Amino acid sequence: MKNSLIQKYNIPGPRYTSYPTVPYWDENTFSKEKWIETFKKSFIESNSTEGISLYIHLPFCESLCTFCACHKHITKRHEVEEPYIETVLKEWNLYVDLVDEVPLVKEVHLGGGTPTFFSKEQLKKLIDGIFLKAKKHPNHEFSFEGHPNNTTKEQLQTLYDVGFTRVSFGVQDYNLKVQEAIHRVQPFENVERAHRLAKEIGYTSISHDLVFGLPFQTKENVIHTINKTKELQPDRISFYSYAHVPWVKGVGQRGFNEQDLPKNEEKRELYEIGKELFAEMGYIEIGMDHFALRTDSLYKATEEKTLHRNFMGYTANKTQLMIGLGMSAISDSWYGFAQNVKTVKEYQNVVNEGEIPVFRGHILSKEDLVIRKHILNIMCHFSTSWEEENLQIENINEHLNKLDEMIEDKLVFIENKKLTVPEEARPYVRNICMAFDKKLHKKQPRAKLFSMTI
């Protein structure tokens, strides 16, 4: 039965880090002026209470990993570091100049690319520069993505000293054949070194990012990788489905053939094996793709119903406003989305001209905001309700009718204006959200846009 359900529902679909999803942003709603207007509105509403989040995109990598779908810039020239950091700080100052209050920053995340491409001096310059005109929230949580091969003790210590307590290490898989296929060769010893250094310095939440569905990956590989992970016992584990989207990222994801990838039931088995092993190790499943120990803030956020999801994925810190700084970074004011220009050169040119470097986005309508709340509820809490007036969807039955087959297959339950996803149906959560995605149903994509849902 499980295999037939996988065949039935394993279709292309969004990951819902936003609603509307990026391919369905309506450029007609957007302008830089409208974006700034929603930014100011959101800042006034949220800064003095919950604070704001910053996502800072550090795009440089010394080599190309062929499983990665991020916006990056491949170079071994480290002289690019200083002018890039200076530009990010200029962009931040452009936002700060738009508001009267001092920004209260609750969350900072350094993503990439490879944040640990940057020297400890440049990383300190970046964070010190941010807080020349900002304050840290009393309950702040700062995190960064570390590449185990090049994360140094000095980088870890420097970031810890300026407030970072969370780090995620990209592991993917420990099998050499798989690593060679994705151009990311890193022995367990490198991960162990970086992990233990972070622990010794005082990081309170260490995450390992694993991926299933990679080329040449077998269940023996997954079991071996998870057993090695058990030796280090990270506080969180992300267990991502490899998203094969070469039509989006081109040659970077064509370093192997399609037939080298685990398919459908075979791929899903890798996840089920992982999920079972994580449970035996004491990890609790959080949302989609994430697992955490009971001592971690992500688990506590789940228990307290404060888990949030945005362009950074799941986070224990909900803030209404997230500012994306750096090339290609996406900002979210709750009322609107805006994305920065996608090349380093253009990004630096626009910022150095004194302009906020956004080039596209979407301003949410009242209907968008209601649907966004429902999708966020389903992705974070596996339930939602349309009983309250501010959660009413016009023509709700049109959406619910799209769930008829899933109700029949016992993948979702609807009773008393409330939708609930049972634990065994969590792999299908993206499919359930798609029933509420009005943009998706109104205009079907002409070309491939999304990875497979399961």
Verify that 385 and 346 share a domain, yes or no.
no
Verify that 33 and 128 share a domain, yes or no.
yes
End-of-domain residue from the set 319, 345, 363: 363
Verify that 317 and 402 share a domain, yes or no.
no
The answer to whether residue 443 scores a pLDDT higher than 90 is: no
Across 36-56, average pLDDT: 97
Q: Which two tokens stand for residue 213?
A: 């569905």
What residues form DSSP beta bridges with 315?
308
Would you say the pTM of this structure is higher than 0.85? yes
pLDDT > 90 fraction of the chain, expressed in percent and rounded: 75
Across 21-31, average pLDDT: 92
Tens digit of each residue's pLDDT (9 = 90 or more) over 330-349: 999 999 999 999 999 999 99
Tens digit of each residue's pLDDT (9 = 90 or more) over 107-121: 999 999 999 999 999
Assign residue 429 the CATH number of its domain: 1.10.10.920
What residues form DSSP beta bridges with 383?
420
The Cα 145–Cα 162 span in angstroms is 16
Assign residue 178 the CATH number of its domain: 3.80.30.20
Verify that 293 and 339 share a domain, yes or no.
yes
The answer to whether residue 395 sits within a structural domain is: yes
84, 348 in Cβ contact below 8 A?
Answer: yes
Judged by phi (left if over 0) then psi (alpha if -120 to 50, else beta), residue 282 lies in left
Residue 247's pLDDT is 47
End-of-domain residue from the set 363, 398, 431: 363
The answer to whether residue 236 scores a pLDDT higher than 80 is: yes
Q: Which domain holds residue 352?
A: 19-363
**Amino acid letter, 330:** I
pLDDT greater at residue 237 or residue 266: 237
The Cα 43–Cα 66 span in angstroms is 38
Domain count, the chain: 2
* Average pLDDT value for the chain: 91
Across 47-68, average pLDDT: 91
247, 60 in Cβ contact below 8 A?
Answer: no
Across 223-248, average pLDDT: 88
The answer to whether residue 7 sits within a structural domain is: no
Judged by phi (left if over 0) then psi (alpha if -120 to 50, else beta), residue 264 lies in left
The answer to whether residue 11 sits within a structural domain is: no
Confidence at 9, pLDDT banded by 50, 70, 90:
confident
Verify that 240 and 372 share a domain, yes or no.
no
> Which of these, 239, 233, 214, 381, lies nearest to 303 by C-alpha position?
381
Tens digit of each residue's pLDDT (9 = 90 or more) over 393-442: 888 888 889 999 999 999 999 998 899 999 889 889 999 999 999 888 77
The Cα 437–Cα 371 span in angstroms is 7
Verify that 348 and 407 share a domain, yes or no.
no
67, 184 in Cβ contact below 8 A?
Answer: yes
Residue 255's pLDDT is 59
The answer to whether residue 85 scores a pLDDT higher than 90 is: yes
Residue 212's pLDDT is 94
3-state secondary structure the chain: CHHHHHHHHCCECCCCCCCCCHHHCCHHHCCHHHHHHHHHHHHHHHCCCCCEEEEEEECEECCCCCCCCCCCEECCCHHHHHHHHHHHHHHHHHHHCCCCCCCEEEEEEEEECCHHHCCHHHHHHHHHHHCCCCEEEEEEEEEEEECCCCCCHHHHHHHHHCCEEEEEEEEECCCHHHHHHCCCCCCHHHHHHHHHHHHHHCCCEEEEEEEECCCCCCHHHHHHHHHHHHHHCCCEEEEEECCCCHHHHHHHHCCCCHHHCCCHHHHHHHHHHHHHHHHHCCCEEECCCEEECCCCHHHHHHHCCCCEEECCEEECCCCCCEEEECCCCEEECCCEEEEECCCHHHHHHHHHCCCCCEEEEEECCHHHHHHHHHHHHHHHHCEEECCCHHHCCCCHHHHHHCCHHHHHCCCCEEECCEEECCHHHHHHHHHHHHCCCHHHHHCCCCCCCCCECC
The answer to whether residue 451 sits within a structural domain is: no
Name the pairing type of β-strands 308-310 and 313-315: antiparallel
Verify that 193 and 121 share a domain, yes or no.
yes
56, 348 in Cβ contact below 8 A?
Answer: no
Give residues with Cβ within 8 angstroms of 196, minimum separation 6. Answer: 232
Confidence at 391, pLDDT banded by 50, 70, 90:
confident
Verify that 354 and 374 share a domain, yes or no.
no
The answer to whether residue 254 sits within a structural domain is: yes
Q: Which two tokens stand for residue 370?
A: 């209601």
Confidence at 454, pLDDT banded by 50, 70, 90:
low
The Cα 182–Cα 214 span in angstroms is 8
> Which of these, 17, 113, 18, 118, lies nearest to 68 by C-alpha position?
113
End-of-domain residue from the set 310, 333, 363: 363
The answer to whether residue 8 sits within a structural domain is: no
Q: What backbone phi and psi angles, to 5 degrees, belong to 45?
A: -70, -30
Residue 244's pLDDT is 63
Angle at 439 between CA 451 and CA 8, to 5 degrees: 45
What residues are designated binding site for S-adenosyl-L-methionine?
55, 67-69, 112-114, 145, 172, 184, 209, 243, 330
The Cα 59–Cα 41 span in angstroms is 29
Lowest pLDDT segment from 240-244, 268-272, 340-344: 240-244
Verify that 382 and 339 share a domain, yes or no.
no
Verify that 131 and 147 share a domain, yes or no.
yes
The Cα 153–Cα 131 span in angstroms is 23
Verify that 312 and 375 share a domain, yes or no.
no
Position of tokens 């998706």?
440
The answer to whether residue 78 scores a pLDDT higher than 50 is: yes
Across 173-179, average pLDDT: 95
The Cα 416–Cα 70 span in angstroms is 41
Going from the C-alpha of 425 to that of each of 64, 166, 378, the distances in angstroms are 35, 30, 12
The answer to whether residue 417 sits within a structural domain is: yes
Residue 93's Cβ-count burial label (10 Å; 0-12, 13-18, 19+) is: middle
What residues are designated binding site?
55, 61, 65, 67-69, 112-114, 145, 172, 184, 209, 243, 330
What residues are designated binding site for [4Fe-4S] cluster?
61, 65, 68
Sign (positive or negative) of CA dihedral 290, 295, 299, 301: negative
The answer to whether residue 69 scores a pLDDT higher than 80 is: no
Verify that 424 and 297 share a domain, yes or no.
no
The answer to whether residue 1 sits within a structural domain is: no
Q: Which two tokens stand for residue 98?
A: 């738009």
